[in-house]
């Protein structure tokens, strides 16, 4: 699946420097490590490691966090299921 985002790499850099950014992450997960490494100024909204993806996405959808990291297919399925505008998601080009 290859969706084009309305966001640019410049936007990603602005997010990385944003001190008010809140990222929902599972504890002890690769996404937790990604957030710590690439978003040093962000506040991490932690959920237990064994939480379901819907719990993490609900934190973002409810406004308790600004973003999360997850598999692209699951994110778009969640957006479709719950009526969230999928253009709100940032997709970074794969390397």
Domain extent, residue 64, equals 9-85
Q: How many domains does the chain have?
A: 1
Q: Per-residue pLDDT for 88 more than 80?
A: no
- For residues 69-78, give the mean pLDDT: 76
Please tell me which of 6-10, 29-33, 42-46, 73-77 the model is most confident about, judged by mean pLDDT: 42-46
**pLDDT for 4:** 52
- The pLDDT of residue 64 is 93
Closest CA to 45 of 76, 66, 16: 66
Has residue 55 been placed in a domain? yes
- What is the CATH number for 19? 3.40.190.10
pTM of the model: 0.72
- Domain assignment present for residue 27? The answer is yes
Task: Kindly indicate the confidence band of residue 95, based on its pLDDT and cuts at 50, 70 and 90.
Answer: very low
Helix axes 53-61, 72-82, angle to 10 degrees: 60
pLDDT in tens, 18-47: 889 999 999 998 889 989 999 999 999 999
What's the burial of 78, exposed, middle or buried (CB within 10 Å: 0-12/13-18/19+)?
Answer: buried
Question: Over pLDDT 70: what percentage of the chain?
Answer: 78
């Amino acid at each position: 699946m290859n969706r084009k985002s309305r966001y640019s790499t410049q936007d990603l850099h602005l997010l990385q420097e944003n001190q008010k950014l809140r990222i929902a992450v599972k504890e002890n997960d690769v996404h937790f490590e990604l957030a710590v490494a690439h978003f040093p100024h962000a506040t991490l909204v932690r959920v237990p490691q064994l939480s379901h993806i819907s719990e993490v996405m609900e934190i973002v959808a409810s406004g308790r966090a600004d973003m999360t990291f997850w598999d692209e297919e699951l994110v778009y399925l969640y957006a479709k299921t719950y009526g969230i505008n999928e253009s709100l998601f940032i997709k970074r080009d794969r390397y």
